[in-house]
Amino acid sequence: MSKRLIFEMSRPGRRGVSLPESDVPETELSALIPREYLRDEAPSLPEVSEIDVVRHFTELSTLNHGVDTGFYPLGSCTMKYNPKVNEDMSRLPAFAAIHPYQPEETVQGALELMFLTEKYLAEIAGMSKVTLQPAAGAHGEYTGMAIINAYHRSRGENRTKVIVPDSAHGTNPATANVCGFRIVQVKSDERGGVDLESLRAEMDEEVAALMLTNPNTLGLFDENIQEIARIVHEKGGLLYYDGANANAIMGIARPGDMGFDVIHFNLHKTFSTPHGGGGPGSGPVGVKDFLEPFLPKPVIGVKEGRYYLDNDRPQSIGKVHSFYGNFGVVVKAYAYIRALGGEGLKYVTEHAVLNANYLMKKLRERFHLAYDRICKHEFVLNTANQKQYGIHTLDIAKRLLDYGYHPPTIYFPLIVEEAMMIEPTETESKDTLDQFVDAMLKIADEAETNAELVKEAPHSTVVGRLDETLAARQPVLRFKPE
């Protein structure tokens, strides 16, 4: 099958549209824009007919694999199923057609929805107050760490270090670095949790915070969390909760109760809003009461039944997003929370965890399980059993494409060699999980009996195995006509 770029379909003079004669006087471009900003040559745009364009992009769209077309074990970490009712709600004209500059009294419903979403998220997190401004997870981390920094400074303290465990998401140390902190790494213990001895050794009065994901990236809940919180709080540090894995605790356990002081949620993970190409995201941040003064402004307040935007926040870290964050995404998360209710959200979590443990139990028969414990919403396997046949995790991932699955996250977390991180989420039925298990077990057989088939996979996709090394060493970043 040959897939041409639309540029390669171009024929001089072919047109998809015919523009009407201009009925306003024409002005020389150079009279409007300084000469140095004008291009010398016409841009090389593809010259194609309307039907060429329609066929080209329709065909490309059929090559996508998404959660609406098939199972993928990337889980909520990438994006879980987006219930369609969320989309309907966010498209209601009363939400979609309002303008951020409208007077407060004309958008009371929108403000109420934001106020209530904040309240629900605060309740789920065990926090006192939430801001909806951050546009995604890492932005939430930045906001949370800026709040922590502002808090320490307000007490006349200049704390310079942030502790992250070696199993952390890469965004944690990156965020701390952008906020001007020095990163101190602590090891994981043999059960996959934070090594308490290393933490005690590193924890001192220069540490602003510990950033932790619980359950962590191994899908394991750190049972020492209260002791961890005590160690950090004793020296005046704060605890930051990375909410990337909140799908494993929502409605069951609350980070605020575990001792965390700041949290971000990813609405595009845990609360079922679209992500990536269908985004944008949203990364609300929740804080304990003593941190409320530092939240980004404006904060939504309510007085005598009327909602208003409170800008009178002298200790606020300021705005972190234009207007009030990604409002349309917040509407979708609100719809999700209200459609499921407290009991429903708990049910989501229970099924996410049950599904992961079911898959883990089935797959560990053939694939090595890195940490032998009951997992939360995800678990980490590797290819230690397949190594003797020369099979790497990448080969398994590529072979899964032939069976119609998008592969799981591979080579992360970094502390497990040849890692495969599998997260099914709550919406998948036992039938779907069993089919996926069948495919994985077949691949395990193939690795033993027909290793070349696996090493050369994928065989059924539009393009075969790509040379990732060549692409990284000599990247070709744009199409150039010959």
CB of 388 to another protein, least distance (A): 15
The b-or-e profile of 236-245 (16+ CB within 10 A means b, else e) is: bbbbbbbbbb
Mutual angle of helices 430-449 and 393-402, in 10-degree steps: 120
Based on CB atoms, which residue is closest to another protein, 54 or 471? Answer: 471
Based on CB atoms, which residue is closest to another protein, 187 or 313? Answer: 187
- What residue ranges in 284-405 does DSSP mark as E strands? 285-287, 299-303, 306-310, 368-369, 379-382
CA distance 14 to 335: 47
> For residues 373 and 442, is the Cβ–Cβ distance under 8 A?
no
Based on CB atoms, which residue is closest to another protein, 155 or 473? Answer: 473
Alpha helices in 225-324 (DSSP H): 225-234, 255-258
Cα 109 to the chain's mean position, in Å?
28
CB of 469 to another protein, least distance (A): 4
The residue ranges that bind another protein (CB under 8 A) are 411, 414, 417, 468-469, 472-473
Based on CB atoms, which residue is closest to another protein, 473 or 480? Answer: 473
CB of 429 to another protein, least distance (A): 33
CA distance 133 to 144: 11
Based on CB atoms, which residue is closest to another protein, 29 or 414? Answer: 414
> For residues 85 and 302, is the Cβ–Cβ distance under 8 A?
no
CA distance 447 to 299: 57
Based on CB atoms, which residue is closest to another protein, 122 or 176? Answer: 176
CB of 200 to another protein, least distance (A): 20
Strand arrangement, sheet containing 129-131 = 129-131, 285-287, 262-264, 238-242, 207-212, 161-165, 182-186
CB of 471 to another protein, least distance (A): 9
> For residues 237 and 210, is the Cβ–Cβ distance under 8 A?
yes
Alpha helices in 157-277 (DSSP H): 171-178, 196-202, 225-234, 255-258
Based on CB atoms, which residue is closest to another protein, 182 or 459? Answer: 182
CB of 310 to another protein, least distance (A): 43
CB of 408 to another protein, least distance (A): 15
Element (H, E) at 346: helix 327-363
CB of 419 to another protein, least distance (A): 10
- What residue ranges in 122-258 does DSSP mark as E strands? 129-131, 161-165, 182-186, 207-212, 238-242
Based on CB atoms, which residue is closest to another protein, 289 or 468? Answer: 468
Based on CB atoms, which residue is closest to another protein, 173 or 424? Answer: 173
Q: CB count, 10 Å around CB of 436?
A: 24
CB of 216 to another protein, least distance (A): 18
